[in-house]
Structure 1
Amino acid sequence: MEKTRRSRPIKSMTLLVRPAPGKKSRALVQLGTITVPAAIGRSGRTALKREGDGATPIASMKLLSGFRRGERPARLETPLAIRRIREDMLWCDQPEDPNYNRLVKAPFRPSHEEMKRKDRLYDVCLVMDWNITSRARNRGSAIFFHLIKPGYEPTAGCVAVHPRDMRRLLPFMRRGTVVRVL
């Protein structure tokens, strides 16, 4: 059993994401005794995720790896494999492309997301196994656990937390940690 800095036990390697009362695009993320607010998809949650629907999939997704912006944060305390984001890193979100829901390299013509975002949401970005190990067209792409926009604005389907909360959770997140959206 792992412990936080205050010696509170972390009983589970499952991160629970449950809806917060009052707003469909808000959630609470819980890992053991740590509970933090989060933003989720602008359309709330769905069991039938589709590309571009703006919803966070109701599912259990394992963490695969992560990314961090090169110039910050310099050091992350986590056993999860974290790669430094380069300018040429993109994520394909074009369902018809063979690289759909995969990391690709610029230049890349089909629809994609830049990993080195100007809004810094992916300064810390963890890849959840949604439609990655078993890909299907139009089931949704780039479902990440990343940093929030100011005011906990909704995401396009990801789970997003405040940077201070990400730093609290990262030491307990490793490959295979389950993010369970209820």
Structure 2
Amino acid sequence: MDLIVTKQGDIWQAACAGKVWRAGVGRSGIGVKRIEGDGISPLGCWPIRRVLFRADKLATAPVSVFPTDAIAMDDGWCDAPAHPDYNRPVKRPFAASHEALWRGDDLYDIVVVLGHNDDPVLPGAGSAVFLHVASPGYGPTEGCATLSRADLLAFLALARPETRLCFRDIG
């Protein structure tokens, strides 16, 4: 039971267990990930590693079979290809390039960490490829997938330990 992200006409969709939700993907669509920062959502199927959430924004942790942890104000994710912590969680302040997981918008209120480029980590092959909350209008991401907050919570409640996120269309 995978979450399959595909394009239907001009709209990105995610489907799982008979449910279909509107989705967002990277600004460069779905394709073969070439380098860090290319804006491509990586073609293929990626296991779900864990779920992170903003405890100050959700009354309770998302219902999920995956390990689930609250995001702290000093949590980040290294996106510097030459750094030994590339594509790994880090604590801020952090000298190398990184993303803050505690954001001012709502996009990282729920973050599903995917097993893309993590075993082994290959420098420059892409970092912080997540499934997270969509921006208004499902605007493009840097290479992640997005669902509305309600749809993301519904998906997590359906997902099983073997569930993967699959980017299927080359956009």
Instruction: Please give the TM-score of this superposition, normalised by the length of structure 2.
Output: 0.93
Specify the structure having the higher radius of gyration (Cα): 1
- Structure 2 stretches of 5 or more lacking a match? none
Once the two structures are superposed, the pairs formed by residues 4-153 of structure 1 within 5 Å of their partners are: 13-22=1-10, 26-75=11-60, 76-153=62-139
Judging changes above 3 Å, is the alpha-carbon distance between structure 1 residues 127 and 174 closer, same or farther for their aligned structure 2 residues?
Answer: farther
Q: Percent identity?
A: 33
Map of 2:164 onto structure 1: 178
Aligned residues: CA RMSD = 1.2
Local SS of the residue matching 2:154: helix
> How many pairs does the alignment contain?
167
Distance in 2, matches of 1:105 and 1:84, equals: 14
Read off the aligned partner of 1:116 and give its amino acid letter. Answer: W
Local SS of the residue matching 1:40: coil
Name which of 122, 146, 149 aligns with 1:160: 146
Local SS of the residue matching 2:146: strand
Local SS of the residue matching 1:146: strand
Instruction: Please give the TM-score of this superposition, normalised by the length of structure 1.
Output: 0.88
Contact 1:64–1:176, Cα closer than 8 Å, also in 2: no
Runs (4+) of structure 1 exceeding 3 A deviation are none
Read off the aligned partner of 2:140 and give its amino acid letter. Answer: P
